[in-house]
Structure 1
């Protein structure tokens, strides 16, 4: 029985894809209990050949879409979610190397949850792309062909922990009762029930630039009743790579603020200035006495 579908969007990153698939081939979750859906956003390199080279050790399905202008990860992920055969989707970025127990931790969390769960995995070296010197040091220190060994080394020496550790230290690993838990639902290594992802509309494909598309999905999962938490055992390692352009990020936040038009989502307009950011948004909501989105919508409906 399939217990999870791993959805990986990719575009011209055959080297990173090979690392990710190699780590998936070493999962403790038996290979007949998960599938891997490669969602190719119009690659022109050997992405398909790399995916097919793992067909003897993984249940792999490859999907290709023609490249459109701009950022196509949302539509690529939607392609995978729509085709997923398991009850749980693990959304994993190309270039994130899951530790051998990662998928087992994801499915165990969902199977133990009393209701729908939006699970966040732990990601070492997240945002290292903004630090070229750190990325170069990582390349020398870590073996990307051995995710377990590399992650064990990072745990031992305390280097490059998940940047969300400051959030977890403040709110705990079980942070689902915070007013905006969706603000750190970054889809490099997360999971959610497949049916709920489809019910809330999956990713918004009108976002054609990088930034905010994952928080938007998290927001809708939150409004649909999903509970948010992190499972540190669902760990992965982010391999450094060239950064996506952030030119459209401000525009995306403006769009999302207008799309939902609540006091809380209105705070996204302040993300560009960093006056509000994912790590302080819960405090800002409390300090300003903002109503929850459900409360605000109820007030508007009652008028």
Structure 2
């Protein structure tokens, strides 16, 4: 009898062969046995040798490669290739260029397996920094665990959401809008629920917002949001996308659902929306009806 997979790791990529190598190396180094997880690299049309790199890991990972033609920024569609093909009950979303600590996948799986219902797990991500060079110099791609321990000891480059956790607490299931900080650089979801709520919205065809949009639907569908500091990773610096495109996506998100809470997204700091919801008395339990559960 084949061993049942505990999670599917979905890694979208586009012409980031060197960053993808770091991510795959970190997956090879997981405490979770190779037989317990699979990796799907979802290629958004790369032309830099990504396929050859992925093939070189076939003897070290249970690995599949999916490709779509380069028709612009289509990361939502790329992730959907992985979600549709996922064979495990848990899908872990990891960006190319994120190096997972050795215990990250085990921590994601444990959080899901300890819950009676669907959960959405937010991993911890070190290394976000305005000074990309300083952050890069602090990261040893060959030793994610050592890098995480050093950054924690020195108090350098913590997850940018640390301020949010300090302000509102880490019991995310008590918050009105925990979906705002569900970022697919390192996060996981119940595979069946992610499919049932409609996968990633492929109308997002520029950078920013498609992960929060999925998270919003997971939340309305009954998912419990959890922070797992043990599901830790490192964001390796890379050239930034044009973040101006995110503004249009925020307006699209607000209009798509058109609720008192979603209408706050375009014009408010993402970390202050929770406070705005409380100040205005916007209670999502009656303003935003739950989605029908189909999983």
TM range (shorter): over 0.9
Aligned partner of residue 176 in structure 1, secondary structure: helix
Within the alignment, does 1:280 sit opposite 2:268 as a pair? no
Are 1:173 and 1:231, in contact at CA under 8 Å, matched by a contact in 2?
A: no
Q: Pick one of 93, 96, 104 that aligns with 1:94.
A: 96
The alpha-carbon deviation at position 229 of structure 1 amounts to: 1.3
Tell me by how many angstroms 1:113 deviates. 1.3
Structure 2: which 5+ runs fail to align? 290-295
Matched with 2:61 is 58
Residue 112 of structure 1: aligned partner: 114
Q: Judge which range, 148-157 or 223-232, deviates more.
A: 148-157
Aligned equivalent of 1:153: 150
2:121 partner SS: strand
Q: Is 2:93–2:187's contact at 8 Å kept on the other side of the alignment?
A: yes
Q: 1:176 aligns with which of 154, 173, 179?
A: 173
Q: Distance in 2 between matches of 1:20 and 1:34?
A: 15
Cα distance in 2 for partners of 1:192, 1:186 equals 11
Q: Deviations over 1:253-287 (max 9, x none)?
A: 111111101000000121xxxxx222111110111
Pair 1:290-2:282 in alignment: yes
Distance in 2 between residues matched to 1:255 and 1:125, nearest whole Å: 29
SS across alignment from 2:228: strand
Shift of 1:297: 4.8
Per the alignment, do residues 172 and 114 of structure 1 end up closer, same or farther by CA in structure 2, a change over 3 Å counting?
A: farther
Q: What TM-score results when the alignment is normalised by the length of structure 2? A: 0.94
Per-residue CA deviation, residues 231-274 of structure 1 (Å, 9 max, x unaligned), is 0000000000011112321111111111101000000121xxxx
Which residue number corresponds to residue 189 of structure 1? 186
How many aligned positions are there? Answer: 286
Q: 2:86 aligns with which of 70, 73, 84?
A: 84
TM-score for both structures, normalised by structure 1: 0.92
- Counterpart position of 1:48: 51
Measure, in 2, the Cα distance between the counterparts of 1:260 and 1:142. 40
Q: 1:35 aligns to what?
A: 38
Query: Which of 242, 246, 252 in structure 1 is aligned with 2:243?
Result: 246
CA distance in 2, matches of 1:297, 1:166: 27
Give the aligned partner of residue 161 of structure 2: 164
RMSD of Structure 2 on Structure 1 (CA): 1.1
Alignment check: 8 A CA contact 1:263 1:291 kept: no
Is the 2:135–2:157 Cα contact (8 Å) retained in structure 1? Answer: no
Matched, 1:11 2:8: no
